[in-house]
Amino acid sequence: MRALSGPIINVHNALKVNSRLLFLGMAFALLMGIAQEEQYKHFLHDGLVWKISPEKFVDDVLMVVFFTIVLLDSRRPLLPGGDLHGDRKWVLPVFVAVGGVVAPALIVFFGPWGSEVREAWAIPTATDIVLVLVAIRYVLGRFSVVREVVGLAAIIDDVIGVIIILVVFSGGISASLLWLLLPVGAFLFCKFMMNKKMEVDNYKYYLPFIIPSWIGFYMAGAHPALAGLPVVYAIRYDPATVHMAVETYHHLLREGKCRANALLDFEHVLRVPTEYVLFLFGATAAVINLASPEFQTVTIAVSFGLLIGKPVGMMAGCLVAEKFAKAKLPAGVDRKQMLIGTQLASIGMTVAFFVANQTYADEALRDAAKLGAFFAIGAVALAEIWRILLRVPRVTVEPVSAFGHHSHELEGLDVSEADFEEHDREYRDSPHALPIQIPARIFEPEEVASSGR
């Protein structure tokens, strides 16, 4: 049994890294859709226990884990020393993100489609952070600074997506507003009692407050998958380590060179569960009926919104930010690279599937919309074509971080710069370094293979 542990761990890491479990779940769903479509959809949609269907359980309960990771990613850049904190660092990513949301929505809503198709306007606004960053790594190179610009824009994009889900797809919210006192109360207690007064550094004591938050969102008609919102923005953090790579922080913590950081511990513990939740989400969301009569219009509209609207909108946002907001592209990035990066941002996948589930009750329209989001994976091929035509080389030398990254801020830590750099390199070689956190360190698949782990 001991001899099998190494290979089993390697297979586990290979599957969970770069959201491969999501693709595995989607492949399973597509195969079941071909082999046993009616039976599988019957299983997904019918209630098993207390009239709760597997699809509903994944969307409303398990996806809390995924959206909590998204919200954690959105909070860290906003904290002091973060990539979006102060000195107008937020201007360029915000303009790029807003353009990438508005343009696809306008294309679908005002395009030559029917009224039912126009309801899909929110679907192509989504960006899958992890898959986009992995795609940038393969197309533009492992050290391309574009990943930081587009990565930060993708975080903001998904925050806008969370707002859309909260506002647009939360039916009847005005009739039950009092239930929102539960998540508000959870936030106030966690923020001012546990964080400020009691100074609780253990994330485990914050977790129970997700339950009343979930109940409040659900009963108010808001989407309960956002139940982690109050805890994420109230949980305690240590400014000295909050922008470090999680593995580097844990190494320093074990050596007693820093104190506990509840926010980083919370993010770390959610990483592996998130990958398996994405597998289940793929297995329940990607059952697509290719015989849908609305296949052509809905599918084309969503694909067009993602593949055309997303890069056009993001590039327009970039140009507007440069011209009117006096923003500048970071060192090491030009407009050719931005065009390729924004093309890759067309990959909506996870969030697009989720929004499709909320948009259409009609199964045929929902399947067609998901298929359009699935076809947007073609952004990788389009980006590679752009790279060849524009003669943009892959970046193989590590540059200075796009926004003057702060991971080497060691104030308040009993650790030298050399010690930090040593463990920083260990992190980048680690098979556990998933590309869920945005700043500057994205998992490199072949480095794991070469390390022999």
What 3 state SS string does the chain have?
A: CHHHHHHHHHHHHHHHHHHHHHHHHHHHHHHHHHHCHHHHHHHHHCCCECCECHHHHHHHHHHHHHHHHHHHHHHHHHCCCCCCCCCCCCHHHHHHHHHHHHHHHHHHHHCCCCHHHHHHHHHHHCCCHHHHHHHHHHHHCCCCCHHHHHHHHHHHHHHHHHHHHHHHCCCCHHHHHHHHHHHHHHHHHHHHHHHHHCCCCCHHHCHHHHHHHHHHHHHHCCCHHHCCHHHHCCCCCCCCCCCCCHHHHHHHHHCCCCCCCHHHHHHHHHHHHHHHHHHHHHHHHCCCCCCCCCHHHHHHHHHHHHHHHHHHHHHHHHHHHHHHCCCCCCCCCCHHHHHHHHHHCCCCHHHHHHHHHHHCCCHHHHHHHHHHHHHHHHHHHHHHHHHHHCCCCCCCCCCCCCCCCCCCCCCCCCCCHHHHHHHHHHHHCCCCCCCCCCCCCCCCHHHHHHHCC
* Band of pLDDT at residue 290, cut at 50, 70 and 90: low
Average the pLDDT over each of 183-187, 198-202, 239-243, 297-301 and give the range with the smallest value.
239-243
What mean pLDDT value characterizes the chain?
76
State residue 185's pLDDT score.
94
- Give the best-scoring range by mean pLDDT among 108-112, 157-161, 340-344, 424-428: 340-344
CATH number at residue 221: 1.20.1530.10
Model confidence at 165: pLDDT above 90: no
State residue 434's pLDDT score.
38
Average pLDDT over residues 334-360: 87
Total domains in the fold of the chain: 1
* Band of pLDDT at residue 175, cut at 50, 70 and 90: low
Q: Who wins on pLDDT, 94 or 445?
A: 94
Average the pLDDT over each of 227-231, 306-310, 356-360 and give the range with the smallest value.
356-360
The CA-based angle 281-432-240, given to 5 degrees, is 105
The predicted-structure confidence for 205-234, as pLDDT tens digits, reads as follows 999 999 999 998 888 777 788 889 899 989
The range of the structural domain enclosing residue 23 comes to 2-451
Average pLDDT over residues 68-76: 80
* Band of pLDDT at residue 371, cut at 50, 70 and 90: confident
Q: What are the two backbone dihedrals, phi and then psi, of residue 417, each rounded to the nearest 5 degrees?
A: -60, -40
Average pLDDT over residues 47-75: 79
pTM score: 0.67
The pLDDT > 90 percentage for the chain reads: 21
